[in-house]
Amino acid sequence: MYAESTAVVGPLATFSEPHSYDLCEFHGERLTVPRGWEVVRHEIDLEDSGPTGDDLLALADAVREAARPEPPRNPADDGSGTRRGHLRVLPDIT
């Protein structure tokens, strides 16, 4: 949060953020910031760091989705919803 002059140190991000950096525990504990900035530290509760029920359900749904077979694809279908044959008439440019 550059505009607020604040550095936040906490668990690893779950998504890509352009102004965030993943630090190991060693460097996260020794982080220094410019004079006048504030450091906010979010501690990790190691006893409660396991997956939640929602995490497990989301994982199970993702596995089911990945295992679902795709319907057979018609090679004559170009994805536009209209059936096209493999031969086409091209305009004569001569």
Asked if residue 2 is part of any domain, the answer here is yes
CA distances from 68 to 36, 65, 75 (A): 54, 5, 21
Give the type of residue at 44: I
Asked if residue 79 is part of any domain, the answer here is no
Residue whose tokens read 């994805």: 79
Asked if residue 26 is part of any domain, the answer here is yes
pLDDT in tens, 49-69: 677 888 888 889 888 888 888
Structure tokens at 57: 């359900």
pLDDT of the residue at 38:
92
In angstroms, the CA 77 to CA 74 distance is 5
pLDDT of the residue at 10:
84
Asked if residue 68 is part of any domain, the answer here is no
Span 78-93, average pLDDT = 66
Asked if residue 31 is part of any domain, the answer here is yes
- Whether 37 has a pLDDT exceeding 90, the answer reads yes
Instruction: Determine the structural domain holding residue 22 and report its residue range.
Output: 1-46
Considering its fold, how many domains does the chain have in total? 1
Asked if residue 92 is part of any domain, the answer here is no
